[in-house]
Structure 1
Amino acid sequence: MKLKLAILGTRGIPNNYGGFEHIAEYVSEGLVQRGHEVTVYNSHNHPYQEKTWNGVQVVHCYDPEYKIGTAGQFIYDLNCLMDARRRQFDVILLMGYTSSSVWGMLYPKNSVIISNMDGLEWNRAKYAKPVQRFLKYAEKLAVKYSQFYIADSLVIKSYLQEKYHIDSQYIPYGADVYTEQERKMFDSDRSRVKEDYFLLMARMEPENNIELILDGFSNSNSDKSFKVLGNTNTKFGKFITQKFQHDERIQFKGSNFDNSVVRSLQNNSYLYFHGHSVGGTNPSLLEAMASEALIAAHNNPFNKSVLTTDAFYFNDASDVRQLVETVQREDTERIMIQNNLHKIQYQFNWEKVINEYEAFILESYQKSKA
C-alpha cells in the first residue's frame, strides 16, 4: 500500500537545526524510496528553497518567528496545517506538539494524525513556570487530538502510558556507521588530532548541562583543549561564552551541520561529553556512538536507557572534573566503544528506524479505516 503523507512540525529539510529536522530528513527520503508520496513542510526562510529534495515534496510556509520570536512558531504551524487541510493527505505525521496542538481542532479530519510526542518539553529548565504549565496543557491537547502516538524513548513511552493511559509506538532515532570512505578520512586525521581534546555538541540551553560540564573542566588541571559545538548566538550561548572567555583551553566552534566534519571531531576526541537531561533518544548521542567516541553522559534515565553500562556518568561539576583528570583509553574503554557501535548496528540504524516508521504508519492507517 502506497500512501500520501506529510511531515509537519519541523523547520524543514535538509536539517539545519536539530533533532526533529534530522529525523524528518531521513524518514521522508526513506519513505519516498519505499514508494510513498511524501511532503515535508519548511519555513519560508529555510536555506533550502527548492520544491523537491531527494524525491520529497517541499512546501514552504510563512514563518514569522524571525520577526516576532516564539509566537511566530504558532503562526507557522497554523499556516502549515491550513495548507495541509487542502491537500488531502492520507496520513499527517506531527513532529512534536509545542506550537501545533493548540490548533488541534483544525487538524485535517480526513487524515490519520500521528504525533511524535517529543521529550517532556514542559520539564526543560529554559522555560519559566507559566510556559511549563502551558506545555503540559499542549501535551494534553496533543494526546486528545491525535489518533496514534510515537515515543522516541522507552522512558517517554512509559510516561505516556502512566500519565494518559495511551499506548505509543517506541521508535528511536537512528545513526549511520562509517562508510569505508569516512573511515579512511578519519584514519588520516587521527595522526594529527587524535585524543588531544574533549568535545561537547549541543544546543546552548540550560538543560543540556553545558555550564556544569565546562565548570568541571575549567576547574581541572587538564592541558587538553575543550571544543564546544553549538550556536552561541543566543541569550544562554552569550552567557556561556562570556563566563568562560578567560579559559583559553575552551574553544567555542559554533554550529556545524557538515556530518563528515562532526563525525571526525567525535571520533578523534579523547572523551565526548553528552549533557542532555531532558528529551528522548538524542541524535547527537547516537551519532557519537556511531562515530566510535568514548562517551561521558549526564546521569539520567534517558541517557542510561541508550548507553546502559557503556559510558561514564556524571551528576555535577566535580564528577566532570574527576573524569577529565582520570579517564584512560585502555581495553575497558575500547570495549565500551565497540558495545555502543554494536547498538547502532542492531538497534539504532536508520534502515531499521525507517522500516519501523513505515510499518507503524501503514498499521495506523489501516486501523483508522477498519
Structure 2
Amino acid sequence: MPTVGLIGTRGLPNTHGGFERFIELLVQDDRWAATDIRFVVYGEGEEGPYNAWTSQRNLGFTKDSRKLGFYFRSAMLATKECDIVLCCSVPLSIFSYWPRLHGKPLIMNPDGCEWRRTKWSAAGRLAIAAMYVPAMAAAHRVVIDAEALREDFHLGKKAVYIPYSAPEPIVHPLRQTTRERLGIDRPYMLLIARLEPENNVALAVKAFHALGDRGVDLIVVGNTGTRHYKDDLATMDGGPIRFVGGVYNQPMLDELRSGCVAYFHGHSVGGTNPSLLEALSAVTGVILCHDNKYNREVAGEHAEYYSTPATLSDRMADLVLNLPSAGQARQPERDARFHPATIFTRYLELFREVLKRR
C-alpha cells in the first residue's frame, strides 16, 4: 500500500490551527478507507494508530526545541519509511533534496508567502525567502491553496491548486455552556486569528476601540502569548474588547461564528485560510475581510472588504446601530471549490500522479 509521510507539523490532535488543522482535515476524511493510500504523521503526537488509515510517529523532541532538526529528522524517517513525502512549509530548505536523492517524490505545501509576515525582522524575512528557493526547486509538485499564489511563486506547471476543505454549512446555536464559559451576555462581534501583525488584528481592535462601549462586545480568539499581543494589543484588552485566548474546541468555534453579528478576517499574506472557509460555512452575521487578492478569491461577493481603520470603524458603527439585521445578514454556504469530496479527489489524483513519475 502506498504510504504518504506528512512532515512539518506538530501532529495530532490539532491544538495549534494552521497546518495542524490542514492534516487533521486531510486524514479524517472517511473516503481514504476505500483506497490503498495510508498516512504517517511525523511530529509530537502520540506514537501509534490515529485512525484505520493513519498512524503517528513521535520524533522524540518538540518542534519548538529543535526546529531545523525537527524537519530534517522527519524528512529522513519519511523518506526511509514512506513512498511519498508531503512537507508542510519550507524550513526543510536545502534538505528538501533528501527525498529526491533517495528516489522518493516530494510534495511541498508552502502555505502562502511566509517571508511577508511582518512579525519577522528584515533579516528573518530575507532568510525565510532564501529557504523557499531549494524547497521549491527540489519538490516534484507544489500545492498552492489559492490561484492568486501562482503569480507570487512563478512555478508554472509544477504548481497544483488544491485549497483547504470547508465544513458543511450549518447554523450552530450558541449553547448556554459556551455563553457561561466565555462570559457572553450581550451581542458580540468576533475575530479569530493568530495574534500576529499580518493578520491585522490591531486594525480591527483599534477601530472597535474608537467606538467606545455601545452595548456590543468584540471577542478576540487567539493565543495571547505572542509578542504582538503583549506589545500592541494588551492595553486594549478590557471592557467591551475581550481577548479570550486560544480556543481549539471546534464545536465551540462554530457556535461563536454562528452567534456573532459581525466576523472579522484580517489575514493578508495568502492564500486560502481555513478560518475564513469555516466562517463562510457558519456565520449568519456580516463577514468583513481585509481587502487583498487572497480573501477576495475565497469569499468573493459573500463578504465586505476593508483596508483602513476609518472605513472599518464607520462600518462597525453602522452595524451597532442595526443589530437585528446585522445578525441575520446571510445564510452559511460552501463553494464547490472547497467541498471535501473535491479536495479528496485532487489529493488522490496527485498521489497517483507522483507515484507514476518515480
Fold agreement, TM-score > 0.5 = yes
Corresponding residue of 2:114: 121
Q: Which amino acid aligns with 1:83?
A: L
Q: CA deviation at 1:361?
A: 1.6
Corresponding residue of 1:310: 302
- CA gap 1:268/1:137 in 2 versus in 1, 3 angstroms: same
Corresponding residue of 1:153: 146
Summarize deviations over 1:259-295 as a string: whole Å, max 9, x none: 0000000000010000101121001111111113431
Name structure 1 gaps, 5 residues minimum: none
Summarize deviations over 1:222-264 as a string: whole Å, max 9, x none: 320110100001211222442213x411111111111000000
Q: CA deviation at 1:53?
A: 0.9
Q: CA deviation at 1:331?
A: 7.5
- CA gap 1:168/1:66 in 2 versus in 1, 3 angstroms: closer
Match of 2:55 among 33, 54, 57: 57
Q: Distance in 1 between matches of 2:187 and 2:327?
A: 16
Q: CA deviation at 1:194?
A: 9.5
SS of the residue corresponding to residue 341 of structure 1 reads coil
Matched ranges for 1:95-106 at <5 A: 95-97=88-90, 99-106=91-98
- CA gap 1:333/1:362 in 2 versus in 1, 3 angstroms: farther
Preserved CA contact (<8 Å) 1:153 1:302: yes
Is 1:79–2:73 an aligned residue pair?
yes
TM-score, normalising length: structure 2: 0.89
Q: Distance in 2 between matches of 1:12 and 1:279?
A: 23
Summarize deviations over 1:153-206 as a string: whole Å, max 9, x none: 11112333xx34444111111121156xxx5x61766xx879800100001110
Q: Distance in 1 between matches of 2:175 and 2:79?
A: 51
Name structure 2 gaps, 5 residues minimum: none
Q: Count the aligned residue pairs.
A: 345
Is 1:259–2:257 an aligned residue pair?
no
Matched ranges for 1:170-209 at <5 A: 170-178=161-169, 183=171, 186=173, 196-209=187-200
Q: Distance in 1 between matches of 2:121 and 2:174?
A: 46
SS of the residue corresponding to residue 186 of structure 1 reads coil
Q: Distance in 1 between matches of 2:79 and 2:346?
A: 26
- CA gap 1:59/1:352 in 2 versus in 1, 3 angstroms: same
Match of 1:229 among 221, 227, 241: 221
- CA gap 1:178/1:306 in 2 versus in 1, 3 angstroms: closer
Q: Distance in 2 between matches of 1:332 and 1:342?
A: 20
Corresponding residue of 2:124: 131
Q: Distance in 2 between matches of 1:169 and 1:195?
A: 45
Preserved CA contact (<8 Å) 1:195 1:269: no
Preserved CA contact (<8 Å) 1:203 1:230: yes
Q: Which amino acid aligns with 2:48?
A: K
Q: Which amino acid aligns with 1:186?
A: P
Is 1:276–2:267 an aligned residue pair?
yes
- CA gap 1:349/1:321 in 2 versus in 1, 3 angstroms: same
Q: Distance in 2 between matches of 1:334 and 1:265?
A: 14
CA RMSD of aligned residues (A): 2.4
Preserved CA contact (<8 Å) 2:174 2:256: no
Preserved CA contact (<8 Å) 1:101 1:138: yes
TM-score, normalising length: structure 1: 0.86
Q: Which amino acid aligns with 1:349?
A: H
Q: Distance in 2 between matches of 1:331 and 1:270?
A: 9
Moved over 6 A (4+): 192-195, 329-333
Preserved CA contact (<8 Å) 1:194 1:268: no
Q: Distance in 2 between matches of 1:342 and 1:28?
A: 20
Identity of aligned residues (%): 25
Is 1:4–2:7 an aligned residue pair?
no
Is 1:350–2:347 an aligned residue pair?
no
Q: Which amino acid aligns with 2:56?
A: V
